[in-house]
């Protein structure tokens, strides 16, 4: 799989969620609410013989507003929901991709982070991806 | 070259290369032996009667796109005979090859909710194994 193509196509699919600005690489210029496709946690070769398949574990980070705001909670809840128009899991798993075969949104973790002195609530999704080993 | 990784394995069934769908294979071969222990000894004595047997087990990741993937070849064809070609060191001039006929005894598909759907097939070898060197 071409890692750049994988990250591009994930970001393009996330971009269909209304109001979510999406980036296919870890950018420093993010205005929340936004989603960033991060570099893989791991890229494992040879799921099958003959360079048939490889696997990736890719994190997708959503950065939203102040953790103490109700509107932040409502948006994060919609992204983390297992279904719905703004569900990261539903949107990504229902997509059709050329760069890989299938994606499984395994889970999400929630953490507040401080960026440039401002507190933001984040949701970190873990994606399992399987695709061709050659090409 | 010394020790070999399994990723190089080539497997075909019925003339179709299924290597890229497989990630495990086991080829068991055995010979029948008879006990011929006589009086006056402290240890058993055996003799091979010349009859050999073997089972071939393969498995891998289920693929929903390819026309010639194992689920298409094997599902519903239990009891059919397949011409098997096995190249444990991979494909290349001078490398070993085993060819034999085997009857599909068992075909299994497993679908865990949070993992890849997988398949496995168990074959009974019938007749001899033809060992050659690839040209």
pLDDT digits (tens, 9 = 90+) for B104-124: 999 999 999 999 999 999 999
Minimal-distance CA residue of chain B relative to A53: B20
B114 contacts A50? CB cut-off 8 A:
no
Is the Cβ of A51 closer than 8 Å to some Cβ of chain B? yes
Let me know the angle formed at the C-alpha of A107 by A70 and A105, rounded to the nearest 5 degrees.
Answer: 110
DSSP H helical ranges for chain B: 70-74
Residue-wise burial string across B19-51, b where 16 or more C-beta atoms lie within 10 A, e elsewhere: bbbbbebebeeeeeeeeeeeeeeeeeeeeeeee
A50 three-state secondary structure: helix
Is the Cβ of A44 closer than 8 Å to some Cβ of chain B? no
A50 contacts B17? CB cut-off 8 A:
yes
Nearest to B71 by CA among B107, B105, B111, B102: B107
B65 contacts A49? CB cut-off 8 A:
no
ipTM of this predicted structure: 0.86
A19 three-state secondary structure: coil
Separation in Å, CA of B97 to nearest CA in chain A: 16
Does the structure show a pLDDT above 70 at B1? no
pLDDT digits (tens, 9 = 90+) for B28-42: 999 999 999 999 999
Q: What does each of the 135 residues of chain A score in pLDDT, given as a tens digit?
A: 999 999 999 999 999 999 999 999 998 788 888 999 999 999 999 999 999 999 999 999 999 999 999 999 999 999 999 999 999 999 999 999 999 999 999 999 999 998 888 999 999 999 999 999 985
Is the Cβ of B17 closer than 8 Å to some Cβ of chain A? yes
A130 contacts B7? CB cut-off 8 A:
no
Say if residues A33 and A19 touch (Cβ distance below 8 Å): yes
B8 contacts A106? CB cut-off 8 A:
no
> Which has the higher per-residue pLDDT, A114 or B11?
B11
Say which DSSP state A97 is in: -
Separation in Å, CA of B127 to nearest CA in chain A: 27
- Does this model's pTM top 0.90? My answer is no
Looking at residue B129, its pLDDT comes to 96
Pick from A104-108, B3-7, B73-77, B126-130: least confident: B3-7
Looking at residue A115, its pLDDT comes to 84
CA dihedral in degrees (A36, A39, A42, A45; nearest 10)? 110
């Amino acid at each position: 799989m071409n890692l750049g193509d994988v990250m591009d196509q994930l970001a393009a699919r996330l971009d269909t969620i209304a109001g979510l600005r999406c980036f296919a690489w870890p950018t420093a210029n993010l205005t929340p609410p936004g989603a960033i496709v991060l570099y893989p946690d791991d890229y494992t070769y040879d799921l099958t013989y003959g360079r048939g398949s490889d696997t990736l574990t890719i994190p997708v980070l959503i950065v939203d507003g102040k953790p103490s705001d109700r509107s932040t909670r409502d948006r994060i809840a919609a992204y983390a929901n297992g279904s719905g128009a703004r569900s990261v899991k539903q949107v990504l798993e229902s997509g059709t991709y050329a760069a890989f075969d299938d994606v499984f949104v395994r889970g999400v973790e929630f953490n507040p982070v401080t960026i440039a002195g401002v507190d933001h609530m984040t949701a970190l999704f873990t994606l399992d991806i399987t695709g061709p080993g050659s090409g | 070259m010394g020790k070999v990784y399994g990723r190089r394995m080539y497997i075909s069934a019925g003339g179709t290369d299924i290597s890229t769908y497989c990630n495990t294979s086991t080829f068991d071969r055995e010979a029948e032996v008879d006990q011929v222990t006589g009086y006056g000894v402290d240890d058993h004595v055996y003799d091979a009667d010349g009859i050999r047997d073997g089972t071939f087990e393969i498995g891998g990741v289920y693929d929903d796109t390819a026309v010639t993937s194992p689920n298409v070849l094997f599902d519903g064809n239990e009891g059919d005979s397949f011409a098997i070609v096995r190249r444990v060191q991979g494909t290349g001039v001078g490398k070993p090859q085993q060819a034999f006929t085997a009857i599909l005894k068992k075909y299994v598909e497993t679908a865990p909710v949070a993992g890849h759907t997988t398949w496995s097939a168990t074959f009974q070898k019938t007749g001899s194994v033809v060992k050659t060197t690839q040209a």
